[in-house]
Structure 1
């Protein structure tokens, strides 16, 4: 954000720490950078500017995650209807964002995350039959696109759908990367079309790629040390934690 260049070292240090931590979570469980980065930076620079700030870190970390996993040829034929619908609806969410009261989108996203994570951690199993993958994927993609445009977070309900497909850990990580990469590109185009993306803002976003990638690298090293079962619990725990973080944040922004 342009504020990073004019507000002194304090905001710069905060931004580096936020994106380092957000990158670490993303490296560990495969998501969380936009949600954490947006939620924390909103306190300092507002939601619309924070959405611009996350663009370059999200784009490059998701390119790394989505293109380098070795499962691209197997995933694209199964996921393209879901991915396409998610991208097409993102602009609708950004349009709604410009008309919603601050905090409403965060509150909705947090409630959805908690409602999903709690029963799954308690042992519930969510699966998508193979003959329903396309139909369910299109529906989930449409909802995911709207929520991504509203909140800058691409997690709900897309990650739930990908988990329900029964993908292996490495396939799930790469599938999330594809969703997040395409959604980031669509979000950048959408923000630009609504006049929310400026040159100095984009430059500040580019500078924060360094701490974000450093955090991702550290998180990935730790992820390699855990089993697949532990990894799935980590994913669910991260979703629950993000939900518990977003609900009070949304309430605070809604009523402050």
Structure 2
């Protein structure tokens, strides 16, 4: 992990291990935790570039754990196309000079996701509305991804509203996160915003992320996943508030 101090290297390793634990316990959250914590230590742009490889590896793993990849891709491809389009547009702001705006945006995205998941009521999207709503949700998700590096708003609540069974839901989230990661990588590379040192660090960060996932899967059998999830969301809510205030002050 060249170009970073030893204390920052330790923080990066600990962050990806902790993010892996969250993903191992809850099935999601690695990019969100990594962006939230690293975004409070580095610029959102630097945090996003470190996130790319661990996010890609862990989400591809999640994507191919289920048997219905082809069917889900056939159903969700309009959303995936507009995720790419929105991310390419939004990444222009993430790679720009107004870093305080991206910090505020990252904080708001974390708070929105945490608050909705804690307090929001599940909703249902009918099959009649899905053809026109999916591209709009994809575009909004892509814009948020491009600006903040966070993939979950509004993609996660929307995919959860499609009445998929558990295995299909996990695989659909893996598909959305994988496409978002690839689109973010393309956007950052297009703008020349991925230094070679950060790419190497991102590659090495796969190791603590996978170790954390294994630890999280073991922990899951010993704790209450709903309680863990609530504590995790409260942490994101407070972290997002701190980042938004820091970017505004």
Flag whether TM exceeds 0.5 (same fold): yes
State the partner residue of 1:107: 107
Alpha-carbon distance change, 87 to 28 in structure 1, aligned in 2, over 3 angstroms: farther
Aligned residues: 246
State the partner residue of 1:207: 204
Matching of residues 143-158 of structure 1 within 5 Å: 143-158=140-155
| 1:144-163 alpha-carbon deviations (Å, 9 max, x no partner) | 00000111110010000011
Q: Please, what is the CA RMSD of the aligned residues?
A: 2.4
Per the TM alignment, residue 35 of structure 1 is displaced from its structure 2 partner at its CA by 1.9
Separation in 1 of the partners of 2:232 and 2:159? 15
Decide whether the 8 Å contact of 2:87 with 2:183 is kept in 1: yes
Alpha-carbon distance change, 223 to 77 in structure 1, aligned in 2, over 3 angstroms: farther
Decide whether the 8 Å contact of 1:30 with 1:176 is kept in 2: no
State the partner residue of 1:20: 17
Per the TM alignment, residue 39 of structure 1 is displaced from its structure 2 partner at its CA by 2.0
State the partner residue of 2:237: 243
Decide whether the 8 Å contact of 1:62 with 1:181 is kept in 2: yes
- Indicate which of 65, 70, 73 corresponds to 1:68: 65
Question: After TM superposition, what 4+ stretches of structure 1 lie above 3 angstroms from structure 2?
Answer: 220-226, 230-241
Per the TM alignment, residue 45 of structure 1 is displaced from its structure 2 partner at its CA by 3.0
- Indicate which of 88, 93, 97 corresponds to 2:90: 93
- Indicate which of 195, 214, 217 corresponds to 2:214: 217
State the partner residue of 2:158: 161
Decide whether the 8 Å contact of 1:169 with 1:231 is kept in 2: no
Separation in 2 of the partners of 1:99 and 1:53? 19
* Contiguous gaps of at least 5 residues in structure 1: none
- TM-score using structure 2 length: 0.88
* Contiguous gaps of at least 5 residues in structure 2: none
Separation in 2 of the partners of 1:208 and 1:175? 25
- TM-score using structure 1 length: 0.86
Decide whether the 8 Å contact of 1:29 with 1:238 is kept in 2: no
SS at match of 1:138: helix
Alpha-carbon distance change, 190 to 220 in structure 1, aligned in 2, over 3 angstroms: same
Decide whether the 8 Å contact of 1:117 with 1:240 is kept in 2: no
Separation in 2 of the partners of 1:119 and 1:47? 27
Matching of residues 186-201 of structure 1 within 5 Å: 186-201=183-198
Decide whether the 8 Å contact of 1:94 with 1:150 is kept in 2: yes
State the partner residue of 1:35: 32
State the partner residue of 1:175: 172
Separation in 2 of the partners of 1:254 and 1:224? 41
Does residue 252 in structure 1 map to residue 246 in structure 2? yes
SS at match of 1:84: helix
Decide whether the 8 Å contact of 1:82 with 1:137 is kept in 2: yes
Decide whether the 8 Å contact of 1:27 with 1:217 is kept in 2: yes
